[in-house]
A and B are shown apart, each in its own frame.
Chain A
Amino acid sequence: MRIARPVTVDEAVEALSAEPGAQLLAGGTDFCVEVNFGHRRPAAVVALRRVAELRERAVRGETVSLGAGVTYAELSGRIAEVVPALAAAARSVGSPQIRNAGTLGGNLATASPAGDTLPVLAALGAEVTLRGPAGERVLTVGELVTGVKQTSMRPGELITKIEVRRVRGAQQFLKVGTRNAMVIAIASAAVVLDRDRRELRCALGSVAPVPLRVARAEEMMSEAIDWERVEAPPGAAARFAELAAEASAPIGDHRASARYRRQAVRVICERAVNRCLRDAA
């Protein structure tokens, strides 16, 4: 039985270095399913649930700091008021059972194209802190998530926290699936209307190997918006949605065809922008 149950990040890093083949475990909602199905056979495990530092969530000045071990269920209350799109994504994950166990750090490390917090964190410009034997480094979501279930994490590293700047304006997360619960996104979109930087940022989920920032659509919309009145000319949101749909690179699979996914992007992007404009006005 090789399991380490560290209570500090330093101990976790130490445990990983001492046993290079050891696998990190957080809430277990991805990890255990892979083990149950024989896709993963851990010989040694570093269980992170007891690391208090990873469970911290705080709003400090203009920054929201969330430990990698914060669960979806914990992304509520005050945190939800400051990062509503992240809270909306968290509420859309799985079921109460999954939300009680699953963590932000696990979602990032799994790096699934359908990971619901990924597009939100990408659109918010989140900074992800990793710690390893060589110390700390800070990455954007785009730098961390490099492909389908692939990350730039180095051996011996773990994700410790996720920091998001408080945004003045509005934010939305919308997700399309077959049910309201227990659904892997067919397509998702996070839109952040940032009044201070006068930019609209958008990232899509489930329609590319990685969470996809749609730069052309963002630029078009940021220019179209009258930032004093927080209004957009008629048709701008639809044009934005069209550009976002064009930028998406969905595959067709048993959940949905590529065409359906692109159409879903169109619909949720227009809706999300309109809701942001409404909320920020």
Chain B
Amino acid sequence: MPPDSTSVPWPVAEGYQLSVDGRTRTVEGAWVGESLLYVLRERLGLPGAKNACEQGECGSCSVLLDGVVVCACCVLGADAAGAEVTTVEGLTATGSAKDIQEALVAGGGVQCGFCTPGFLAAITDLLARSPEADELEVREALSGNLCRCTGYGRILEAVSAVQAERRGAGVPGGLRAPGDEDGPR
């Protein structure tokens, strides 16, 4: 089908551009079925998001898509064009998750560390939209991230340590997720 009069030309392009951690990255020669996780890891050299189940169950591939946590294995790379993708590499480089990283390390919330990048994304999302989340809300927010080592207790403790520290430091929070005009989720 030639890309003629229609406003949705087929085919759209040889490749596409992604905005990852504030940088524009070009993806070329990819198959349309490649997941964002695959594209990040295998094409863009960003192995922070981990590949474990490829079925949305474990959360180890969690990234932020326009500031909202999703499983990168359940997003098509080509459909992430135009969105802002934030990986654990980005969170680390900007230092925005530094206190979370430190609290996880200090409290024994990191053992083998495989799950940690996913937890960083999920905790970042949680504390951005609900800085004062209580334990139930924290548990709920982290229910999509599996950890085979810690038993979760130390991860939960790390979250409350970060909350206490941010409260003490007067860090303003309460960012809302895009499109969530009804109020906090």
Contacts and interface: CB of A to CB of B under 8 A. Distances in A.
Interface string A1-13: 1111110000110
Contacts, number: 158
Contacts of A40: 33
A45 B7 contact: no
A96 B141 contact: yes
Contacts of A76: 180, 182-183, 185
Interface stretch (A25-33, A141-149, A196-204, A229-237): A25-33
Nearest to A46: B8
A50 interface: yes
Contacts of A42: 32-33
A36 B125 CA distance: 25
B144 A181 contact: yes
State the majority secondary structure of interface residues on B: loop
Interface residues on B, range: 35 or more
B140 A96 contact: yes
A25 B76 contact: yes
Contacts of A36: 35, 54-55, 73
Interface in A34-63: 35-37, 40-45, 47, 49-50, 55
A180 B143 contact: yes
A11 B5 CA distance: 12
Size category of the A interface is: 35 or more
B57 interface: yes
Contacts of B69: 96-97, 100
B29 to A, nearest CB: 8
B74 A33 contact: yes
Given A32-B74, A47-B79, A37 B8 contact: no
Residue of A11, A25, A32, A45 with most chain B CB atoms under a 10 A cut-off: A32
B95 interface: no
B101 interface: no
Given A32-B35, A74-B179, A97 B144 contact: yes
A135 interface: no
A153 interface: no
B182 to A, nearest CB: 2
B59 A32 contact: no
A96 B35 contact: no
A44 B11 contact: yes
A97 B68 CA distance: 8
B79 A1 contact: no
B144 A25 contact: no
B177 A45 contact: no
A5 B183 contact: no
Nearest to A43: B32
Given A32-B35, A33-B54, A98 B144 contact: yes
Contact of B75 (A15, A32, A43): A32
Contacts of B122: 96-97
A28 B144 contact: no
Interface string B52-67: 0011110100100100
Given A15-B6, A97-B144, A182-B143, A28 B79 contact: yes
A6 B9 CA distance: 10
B158 to A, nearest CB: 18
Interface of B: 1, 6-16, 30-33, 35, 54-57, 59, 62, 65, 68-71, 73-76, 78-79, 81-82, 122, 125, 140-141, 143-145, 177, 179-183, 185
Given A28-B79, A31-B76, 15 more contacts: A1-B13, A2-B32, A3-B32, A6-B8, A14-B8, A15-B6, A18-B10, A32-B56, A78-B182, A79-B182, A94-B56, A94-B144, A100-B65, A100-B69, A100-B70
Interface of A: 1-6, 11-12, 14-15, 18-19, 25, 27-29, 31-33, 35-37, 40-45, 47, 49-50, 55, 73-74, 76-79, 94-98, 100-101, 180-182
Closest 5 CB pairs of A and B: A95-B144, A77-B182, A181-B143, A36-B54, A15-B8
